Amino acid sequence: MNEVANFCEIVGADVDKVRLGMGADERIGSRFLFPGIGYGGSCFPKDVKALINSGHKHQFSFKLLEAVESVNQYQKIILIDAIQSHFGENLKAKKIGLWGLAFKPNTDDIREASSLDMIEALLALGVEITAFDPAAMENVKRLYPHQIKYADNMYEAAQDADALIIATEWPEFRNPDFDQLKEVMKGRSLFDGRNLFDLVEMQDKGFYYKSIGFIGSHVIRRFVDQYPHYHIVNIDSLTYAGNLENLIDVEQKENYSFEKVDITEAEELEKVWQKYLPFAVIHLAAESHVDRSITDPNAFIQTNVMGTANLLNLSVKFWELDPSHSHGHFPKRESLTNLFYHVSTDEVYGALGEDGLFTEETAYDPKSPYSASKAASDHFVRAYGNTYGLPFVISNCSNNYGPNHFPEKLIPLCILNILNEKPLPIYGDGKYTRDWLYVKDHARAIDIIFHESQAGKTYNIGGWNEWKNLDLVKELIRQMDQKLGREKGSSEKLISFVKDRPGHDRRYAIDASLLDKELGWKPEYTFEEGLSETIDWYLENQTWLNHAASGAYKDYYKKQYQ
């Protein structure tokens, strides 16, 4: 609005009337802000372009709108970067199917269609394109009569294709026969510009599918914004809980880069290391859901143990380490150079009784495949410090909550189910107790530890917020009933006690006093404050929540809780 106000002053318009006019349009809302390869997701850019052109006529530059225009032009071809990253720079002779040519479904309008920009980019790379659109093919044929092929149906467009791009969200593209698709395609790569499907579901069906993790996204955002002189390289394999939408606000920053690499793939990881030559590592990558570790422990061993070992090996290989610093004898830190920061969990300590707190001296006693894999990774980090003189710090945190959290976790799961008036599954008698840490407090703690801790240290990070699961859910119900305008306590009828999971630890609680004493960190949010802010975020981002909870998540939920 600031730039609009400046322009109003030049042309003699009343900015208040402009503001009221914009605000009165009920079409402007969060449901139109879901990302995609179209302009602003799926918006037509005529208003933005008209304002920019009007500004030029009056020698006025809409800097913000020009930036918006630039970002959205790039957004049209963002999948091309993903395709090149996946296949390599040389795409010559690759065959790609293209579903959708129109600007949006239910029209033959191709003005501003992202498909045209992608066609130009792919042709320049030597790609063979076969396209299908229910309505817009004749219009595109006038522009590309011979340069690309046109199919009679969606499966013909995918015939012998190395990859498939979805550019328009036509209804028929939302429910394809995936078995037939696998039969006709040569490859198994699907680049979805409209976020029609669930990542896990696509992986389960055997596809490579082109959403970044939870705590990591908050740490990355903080470091990118707070330290513009750093270059932050985000390495993520985009598993089921990962979502690039979590970092859409930083992806265009000059000091941020993203590399889609699985840390279990040592050779690919080394390529990233050689490309950027990082001076420090903050290791947040992990399989983290206890329930999933019980059904698929090998995935946790691979990522949490072998992935950590790969990062440690590269640190030793590329950093100039001083052997005299082995056996944990690290000098006082004078710089951030060559620091390996490993982020871990309080679950490595096992379970507590009714009293007491986990301290940094508590012996490890993991009870689940997840906590065992994290305990092993903690030990490997300390072993590399002891053996090779690798400077390290470790932090063990309590349960995190906050915006962008994948809805397999208790709080976002219950928010989703309260919204949809579905059962709220609670294990056992509901008296399992956890300490809760707001993710923004956690990101701030990681920042402080990274910059101020001495090498070889371990810190516990906790929120000083112990809650029994049943009491937590009732507090969540209280706040949500109030925010949704429902009768007080009306959602308590949704509480449903389910069979306990194997090896369920009764109580976790962290003593975070050492971090306060040595580095001055304390949580800034009470649980009630953080929970309220979290609920507000999910209520304002229901499209994100519903998208995250689609597809294979539904099958997982049914298996786990029903």
Query: Under a CB-based contact definition with an 8 Å cutoff, are residues 371 and 319 in contact?
Result: no
Residue 211 burial (CB < 10 Å; 0-12/13-18/19+)?
A: buried
Q: What are phi and psi of 415, to 5 degrees?
A: -60, -50
- Helix (H) / strand (E) containing 17: helix 15-24
| Residue 346 annotated to the active site | yes
In the 8-state DSSP scheme, what is residue 322?
-
Q: Which of 133, 245, 291, 347 is catalytic?
A: 347
- The identity of residue 393, as a single letter, is V
In the 8-state DSSP scheme, what is residue 431?
-
Measured between alpha carbons, how far is 338 from 315 in angstroms, rounded to an integer? 8
Residue 421 burial (CB < 10 Å; 0-12/13-18/19+)?
A: exposed
Query: Under a CB-based contact definition with an 8 Å cutoff, are residues 289 and 408 in contact?
Result: yes
What residues contact 479, with CB distance under 8 A and at least 6 apart? Answer: 528, 531, 532, 535
Measured between alpha carbons, how far is 105 from 501 in angstroms, rounded to an integer? 45
Query: Under a CB-based contact definition with an 8 Å cutoff, are residues 224 and 250 in contact?
Result: yes
What Rg do the C-alpha atoms of the chain give, in angstroms?
26
What residues contact 454, with CB distance under 8 A and at least 6 apart? Answer: 330, 332, 333, 393
Q: Which of 209, 370, 384, 538 is catalytic?
A: 370
**Residue whose pair of structure tokens reads 């010559």 in the numeric block:** 92
Q: Which of 128, 201, 346, 441 is catalytic?
A: 346
CB count within 10 Å of CB 23 equals 9
Q: Which residues are catalytic?
A: 346-347, 370
